[in-house]
Amino acid sequence: MHIGLIGLGKMGSNMRTRLRAHDIEVTGYDRNPDVRDVASLADLAKALPTPRIVWVMVPSGEITTSVITDLAAELDKGDIIIDGGNSRFTEDFTHAAQVAEKGIEFVDAGVSGGVWGLKNGYGLMVGGHKKNIDILMPIFDALRPEGPRDEGFVHVGEVGSGHYAKMVHNGIEYALMQAYAEGYELLEKRDDIIKDVTGTFKAWQRGTVVRSWLLELLVRALEEDPEFKDIEGYVEDSGEGRWTIEEALANAVPVPTISASIFARFVSRQPEGSPAMKAVAALRNQFGGHSVKAVD
């Protein structure tokens, strides 16, 4: 199988490497000439066998819309576009209708795994017609973690459902990170009683009900910088948490924990900061390679 991949940043380049390691031929395009395989979208289209499959892995919003618009101009009826970025699910409806005018198929894929996906595989949540998902399964199988397919991949439903599931996933992620971070701050505060904060979290990694990959990453971050002296407690949000709350409001679903985790990130952007938000910043850096603000 041979696919095109647009966007060769942290995740895109790792995905290309993983796909190639699983015998999927990949031709990549990026604005950075140092990482791309072809110089233009037109060259990408020419390099791919028909019907073409192109995975778009660029930042959500205007950039995704621009890339899909330009890409559709180079593709033909029966080709498939996969949006694997963090697009809002409502944008999928627009993009699918847009490319359908040329008979181009559209699939949305929520992708989780961050910078660790190359080694561990990526959790995949996809939306689209079953006929397209069946065609794309060798790609999804190459990207997902080893083990049972249904523990790392789900065909959620029609177009938009993949990104909807990823949106809720990220909302939950926000809340989990905040809970670990607040626990860290309380342990760190009572240094008269707690003599080994890092060791306490490490001891929770096996057997306890709070064990998780996020906990493992927090331990990793603490071992690198036990007091987070080199990190400011400033935490961005990439959008999915806000969208989750907006959907909850629209559907009268209470999400107080997720809401609180978003508001905590807003607090982190105030001058005072907090130890808990340093922990959240460190966690985002660990799993996603998201940048942190260094202490002056």
Q: Any catalytic annotation for residue 91?
A: no
The Cα–Cα gap between 204 and 179 comes to 14
Structure tokens at 108: 């949305």
The Cα–Cα gap between 95 and 90 comes to 9
Closest residue by Cα to residue 277 from 212, 221, 228, 216: 228
**Residue 52 in contact with residue 72, Cβ under 8 Å?**
no
From the list 74, 166, 182, 247, the catalytic residue is: 166
From the list 105, 173, 182, 240, the catalytic residue is: 173
Q: Any catalytic annotation for residue 278?
A: no
DSSP string, the chain: -EEEEE--SHHHHHHHHHHHHTT-EEEEE-S-TTT-SSSSHHHHHHHSPSSPEEEE-S-TTHHHHHHHHHHHTT--TT-EEEE-S---HHHHHHHHHHHHTTT-EEEEEEEE-GGGHHHH--EEEEES-HHHHHHHHHHHHHHSPSS-GGGTEEEEESTTHHHHHHHHHHHHHHHHHHHHHHHHHHHHH-TTT-S-HHHHHHHTSSSSTT--HHHHHHHHHHHH-TT-TTB-S-----SHHHHHHHHHHHTT---HHHHHHHHHHHHHTSTT--HHHHHHHHHHHHHH----PBP-
* Residues acting as catalytic residues: 166, 173
